[in-house]
Structure 1
């Protein structure tokens, strides 16, 4: 969904958002009722969850906001005409952005409430979900390739580290995946770590990752370069 959004293909965001809302509503229904019904309609799931006459397993105070946002996504998609394309409707950036961020919020909340493992691990997953997808980076078996040919070495390093998330990459991996000479990659890393930029930091593990300033540069300056050419 996010990959299509970044590629400025607005219509799939609303269709995919509706599918997400259907599935997530069934998950809430299953967790609350104990019944697994993959064919139960979205509206029926939400109505069940909001029914005061039913004995609920879930804390409705915690999950109530998720149900309301799911309902909002689903109704928004229908009202905008994304299901049965209306001649008056034209998919646009703002609509797609709303649906995408609502879906991302619901995903994060579901993880936050229902993840049964290590809390720090779920916090890391949520932070990873908050990042952009990187369509210009391809995965080919174990190989990572930045598929744009118009980037400077510094831009390629930044985009690769954006893709690397919180774990980042070792200097060896950066040298392997960035198509540039070893000296030019080293110089780019040094510039990005310098006091006047501070866009990359080296962790105690030896890996390099983006700082908040580096992530900000991706959003403000390099968002268009995350796309395939």
Structure 2
């Protein structure tokens, strides 16, 4: 689990924190790999973890690990009686959990002979409901705005790029034949926030800052693949850059 995840959910017990972030990242990873059925199945794990968090929040004491109540919908509805907590905790999150759990149980996921086969549409619903739930937990636990919580949530998403080797501080693109622009996109895909220009130059063994800016960073910035702040020497991957990087990965 990342240091950022530990900081974001520092109020939670370590085991519960691991259950929550682990289930969320499984959903994101399976969706990226087009593994629709596992992406939906893990929605159930996330429901249990999120329920355990909001239930603990309402009671003032968190359980050490996530668990499933005997009757999940009824347990979620019971949270509506917790009048001393924010409306999001007692109404909005529990009702979203019921809907997500319904997809897990009654859309052909987890049961042989289900009447609807798992597909991309259902998995997409699971993905974005999961992102909303996680962002809402971040917002409630840290009293942030929705936009602030959403940006922080992106940092919790673990990206696995098999073409890039990392030991934590160093990075190397292992695939031969890629341009420096392509290598920069792959390197940035691993970073949840900004990367420094100096790190990118070190990882790519670029010796000339002026040439690196002219041939790599400024063209990527012009194409809206990255946001490059030359004064701060900071580079951030933009959504078109994410799509371009993911097209590079076999």
Q: Which TM-score band (shorter chain)?
A: 0.7 to 0.9
Query: Offset at 1:125?
Result: 1.2
Match of 1:65 in 2: 92
Provide Cα deviations, 1:28-47, integer angstroms capped at 9, x if missing partner: 11211346555451334303
User: TM-score scaled to structure 1, two decimals?
Assistant: 0.76
Once the two structures are superposed, the pairs formed by residues 140-219 of structure 1 within 5 Å of their partners are: 140-149=167-176, 151-171=178-198, 173-178=199-204, 182=207, 185-186=212-213, 187-194=215-222, 199-202=226-229, 204-210=231-237, 214-219=238-243
Whether the 8 Å CA contact 2:31–2:123 is kept in 1: the answer is yes
Q: What is the distance in 1 between the residues matched to 2:100 and 2:171?
A: 34
Q: What is the distance in 1 between the residues matched to 2:30 and 2:131?
A: 14
Q: Tell me, what secondary structure is at the counterpart of 2:155?
A: helix
RMSD: 3.3
Higher relative contact order (CA 8 A, sep 6+): 1
Q: Tell me, what secondary structure is at the counterpart of 1:164?
A: coil
User: TM-score scaled to structure 2, two decimals?
Assistant: 0.70
Q: What is the distance in 2 between the residues matched to 1:164 and 1:155?
A: 15
Summarize the Cα distance change of 1:46–1:222 in structure 2 as closer, same or farther, 3 Å threshold. Answer: same
Aligned residues between the structures: 216
Match of 1:46 in 2: 76
Match of 2:138 in 1: 111
Provide Cα deviations, 1:138-159, integer angstroms capped at 9, x if missing partner: 4334333344445322122123
Structure 1 portions without partners, runs of 5+: none
Q: What is the distance in 2 between the residues matched to 1:119 and 1:91?
A: 30
Whether the 8 Å CA contact 1:3–1:135 is kept in 2: the answer is no
Query: Offset at 1:124?
Result: 4.3
Q: What is the distance in 1 between the residues matched to 2:120 and 2:177?
A: 26
